Amino acid sequence: MATQTTRTAPVIGITMGNDLEKADRVALSKLYYQAVLLAGGIPLLLPPLTEKSPLRALYSLCSGLLLTGGGDIASDVYQTSDRSKLSYVDRQRDQAELFLTRWALDERKPLLGICRGIQTLNVAAGGTLIQDIPSEVPSALDHRASSTLPVDQMAHPVTIKPASILAQALFKNSPLSDQLLVNSYHHQAIARVAPGFSVSAQAPDGIIEAIEISEESVFILGVQWHPERMVPQDEHMVQLFRAFIHACQRR
């Protein structure tokens, strides 16, 4: 008699920042853990702890890591001087997420970075950031288009590298395409891509919209848009979360 393999729902660590307006609070959009639940994961919210030992204990409970959106990473983290365009810098969060991301990179634990999360991933792996797109890349599109549009509304297309892990995830249940419309709610972007990563999506202006480690059986991926705000209306984004959860289950 064939035995059905029981797949336990994987625990997904979800990072968050301090509420910078209320010093005794942390802040996280519910959409992140709702998307994790929808895709079959168990969310575990990770506070921005700067002490390594309890953070490592929480990390050890997780089969995967979700790096969420938020304010700007302090520029000294990637050895660049502050160009006076940073907002909502949260050094405790920077530190906690850098620890978590480097642990995940070391052991190739599945990781999905969203918006600030792709930037955290790139910086943790040795890359750099454009601190402010409008002032550093004046020819770029308005990537903050969603500040005037409803947040789930599409702002610009991205070109997706066909053989990428990203493309396999997004188009698992639909015809493969190299174009997709995404939302956009960022004023920073990746400048120098971290060693070991490749670009898997770009906006028409050349701004990097996704990076990944292209190794077999590895799911370490960052996107500059907000897929959690496009779930469940956009099946591609549901599939992106499902691919992440499946990668966590396989470990």
Give the closest residue to 114 by CA, choosing from 184, 176, 216, 173: 184
Respond yes or no: is residue 115 known to be catalytic.
Answer: yes
Instruction: State yes or no: residue 18 binds Mn ion (CB under 5 A).
Output: no
Q: Which one from 156, 226, 236, 246 is the annotated catalytic residue? A: 226
The Cα 199–Cα 203 span in angstroms is 11
CB burial of 157-180 (b: ≥16 within 10 Å; e: otherwise) equals: bbbbbeebbbbebbbbeeeeeeeb
Q: How far from each other are the two terminal CA atoms of the chain, in whole angstroms?
A: 26
Pick from 93, 109, 116, 143 the residue near Mn ion by CB under 5 A: 143
Is the Cβ–Cβ distance between 137 and 205 less than 8 Å?
yes
Q: Minimum distance from CB of 84 to Mn ion (Å)?
A: 22
Q: Which is nearer to Mn ion, 108 or 144 (CB)?
A: 144
Q: Which residue of the set 97, 209, 212, 228 is catalytic?
A: 228
Confirm whether 186 is a catalytic residue: no
Q: Does 116 bind Mn ion (CB under 5 A)?
A: no
State in angstroms the smallest separation of the CB of 244 from Mn ion.
Answer: 20
The answer to the question of residue 246 lying near Mn ion (CB under 5 A) is: no
| 97 is annotated as an active-site residue | no
The sign of the CA dihedral 206, 67, 215, 36 is negative
Q: Does residue 119 belong to the site contacting Mn ion (CB under 5 A)?
A: no
Q: What is the C-alpha to C-alpha distance for residues 44 and 166, in angstroms, rounded to an integer?
A: 24
Q: Is the dihedral of CA 176, 127, 155, 221 positive or negative?
A: positive
Helices assigned H by DSSP within the chain? 30-38, 52-60, 91-107, 116-124, 133-136, 165-170, 235-250
**Nearest 5°: phi and psi at 175?**
-60, 135
Q: Which is nearer to Mn ion, 100 or 240 (CB)?
A: 240
Q: Which listed range, 1-9, 19-27, 141-149, 238-246, lies at the site for Mn ion (CB under 5 A)?
A: 141-149
Exactly one of 62, 97, 115, 143 is catalytic; name it. Answer: 115
How many residues sit close enough to Mn ion to count as binding (CB under 5 A)?
A: 2
By the rule CB under 5 A, 236 interacts with Mn ion = no
* Binding string, residues 165-204; x marks residues near Mn ion by CB under 5 A: -------------------x--------------------
- Site residues (CB under 5 A) for Mn ion? 143, 184
| Residues known to be catalytic | 115, 226, 228
